[in-house]
Homo-oligomer: A and B are copies of this chain.
Amino acid sequence: MTKDYVVGIDIGGQSVKMGVIDRRANFVARKSFSMAGYGADDTVRFLDDVCKYIVELTANVGLDSIQGVGIGAPDGNYYDGTIVDAVNLPWAKGKIVPLRDHISGKLGLNVTVTNDANAAAIGEMTYGNAIGMKNFIEITLGTGVGSGIVVDGKLVYGHDGFAGELGHTTAVRYNGRKCGCGKTGCLETYASSGGVCQTAREMLEASNEPSVLRQLETITSKCVFEAAVAGDKIAINVFEYTGRILGEKFADFIAFSAPEAIIIFGGVSNAGDLLLNPTKKAMEENVVGLWKGKVKVLRSGLPESDAAILGAGALAW
């Protein structure tokens, strides 16, 4: 039987998105479910549920027609197919979770794992704004800040398979925010959705400037974005601040791999020019002369909900 489909799975901090995809990137089935129900003791139940849903989703086309399963997951390791100490996933924090072997053993399918940002980068190369690019960096700005680094047309995995943890490079050297990874000052603590909210709370605290954000019980990065679009000064400053920190780090990343473009993806990137303009400005101010004006900063060309699934699926072909 010809293997006409792959299963792409995007494991995120909030939810899991799954799709059965054909060779032309059409979805023949899809499902998503919340991560909320899985606690520290639910590792096996989570893996078993993923297997169950794979079987359900592929019922129409048949498991025999599946070329393989590609999974993008935080701290997913390409070399051994595990998730290692994913701080944003309660069932994978402080553990080595044998994602590939468990699912592969149970269903008899080839399973390939990488981190969610690498999967997004593969999606971007295949269907998005990095088509034809051989050197670029995909930065995901969501619950966490991840990255997929492409050098000479290939993802950088490094010695141990975990390369590209740019969310955990140091953005603020002294008195930086405490990060879930145990460090302080990580880029993630400023440029993730939670980081944006914390910046908003700190700015509200530090001034008497009127702001619609003061009326909210819970601040989300989406609320901050909507307030900024409506002209709220504090909300605009939040993205200015976030963009400045992001752009300073982008300048460092450029010095590393000299990419043609840095592509931002994920919830926080929906702020668009409100975030991109200060990011580009800070990047240009901080980058070595030879790259000034030469490296593009782009938003992802992929539909947000499908990018990581498509990328994960592409891993399996």
A residues sitting closer than 8 Å to B (CB atoms) are: 75, 84-85, 134-135, 149, 151-152, 154, 156-166, 168-170, 172-173, 181-183, 248, 251-253, 255-260, 286, 288-291, 294
Q: Which residue of B lies closest to A258 (CB)?
A: B158
Contact of A252 (CB < 8 Å), options: B152, B170, B182, B248? B170
Q: Which residue of B lies closest to A251 (CB)?
A: B170
Could you say which residues of chain B place their CB within 8 Å of the CB of A164? 255-258
Could you say which residues of chain B place their CB within 8 Å of the CB of A181? 288-289
Interface contact B157-A258, CB-CB below 8 Å: yes
Could you say which residues of chain B place their CB within 8 Å of the CB of A170? 248, 251-252, 286
Q: Which of A154, A161, A163, A253 has the most CB of B within 10 A?
A: A163
Could you say which residues of chain B place their CB within 8 Å of the CB of A159? 134-135, 258-260
CB distance from A241 to the nearest CB of B (A): 14
Could you say which residues of chain B place their CB within 8 Å of the CB of A84? 290
CB distance from A186 to the nearest CB of B (A): 8
Contact of A289 (CB < 8 Å), options: B85, B288, B291? B85
**CB-defined A-B contacts under 8 Å, sample of 26:** A134-B159, A135-B158, A151-B151, A151-B158, A152-B154, A156-B256, A156-B257, A156-B258, A157-B258, A159-B258, A160-B258, A163-B257, A163-B258, A164-B255, A164-B256, A164-B257, A164-B258, A165-B255, A165-B258, A168-B255, A169-B252, A169-B255, A169-B256, A181-B289, A182-B289, A253-B256
Give A163 to B251 CA distance when docked, in angstroms: 12
Interface contact A256-B163, CB-CB below 8 Å: yes
CB distance from A260 to the nearest CB of B (A): 4
CB distance from A74 to the nearest CB of B (A): 12
Q: Which of A85, A134, A159 has the most CB of B within 10 A?
A: A159
Could you say which residues of chain B place their CB within 8 Å of the CB of A289? 85, 181-182
Q: Which residue of B lies closest to A134 (CB)?
A: B159
